[in-house]
């Protein structure tokens, strides 16, 4: 699973040495925060995959990693099996149009993008956990359903 760091200006996808090898990237992926237009959570990232690896690694149903080229656009992909993922649409980024990442921190990312964060990069999970507006896990409001007529 990738680690997502966020600060006031950018989102950084921190890659492990194994992920760097699979994606053919020497450095972490850095995206300017103002280029993020939409963040979507998905249970099946494979349905969002488009194009062919260029360069990248593809083992169907197991791993898709690297840059994926399709019809004039380039996506950064890091999908592992059928796990919860996040799809991040970008506009105005010099390199990518979309990021598709398998991560259990997708919900934290969507929440952290709405918050004012510090100038120092921090993990999105830590940002959400320490924000004053965060709701503790055990104290969520109950769902109110209308009574049948």
Supply the pTM of this predicted model: 0.79
Q: What is the pLDDT of residue 133?
A: 56
pLDDT in tens, 10-23: 888 999 999 999 99
Q: What is the pLDDT of residue 147?
A: 63
What is the pLDDT of the chain when averaged over all its residues?
84
DSSP string, the chain: --EEEE-SSEEEEE--HHHHHHHT-SS-EEEEGGGEEEEEEES-GGGG--SEEEEEEEETTTEEEEEEEETTEEEEEEEETT--EEEEEESS-SS-SEEEEE-TTHHHHHHHHTS---SS-EEHHHHHHHSTTPPPGGGPPPPP-PPP-
- In the predicted model, residues of the chain with pLDDT beneath 70 are 1, 132-149
Q: What is the pLDDT of residue 101?
A: 93
């Amino acid at each position: 699973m990738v680690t997502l760091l966020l600060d006031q200006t950018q989102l950084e996808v921190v890659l492990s040495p194994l992920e760097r090898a699979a994606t053919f990237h020497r450095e972490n992926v850095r995206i300017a925060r103002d280029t993020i237009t939409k963040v979507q959570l998905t249970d099946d990232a494979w349905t969002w995959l488009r194009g062919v690896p260029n360069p990248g690694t593809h083992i169907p149903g197991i791993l898709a990693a690297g840059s994926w080229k399709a019809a004039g656009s380039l996506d950064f992909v890091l999908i592992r099996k059928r796990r919860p993922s996040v799809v991040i649409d970008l506009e105005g980024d010099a390199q990518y149009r979309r990021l598709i990442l398998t991560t259990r921190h997708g919900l934290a990312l969507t929440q952290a993008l709405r918050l004012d964060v510090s100038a120092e990069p921090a993990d999105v999970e830590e940002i959400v956990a320490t924000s004053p507006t965060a709701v503790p896990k055990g104290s969520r409001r109950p769902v109110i359903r209308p009574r049948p007529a």
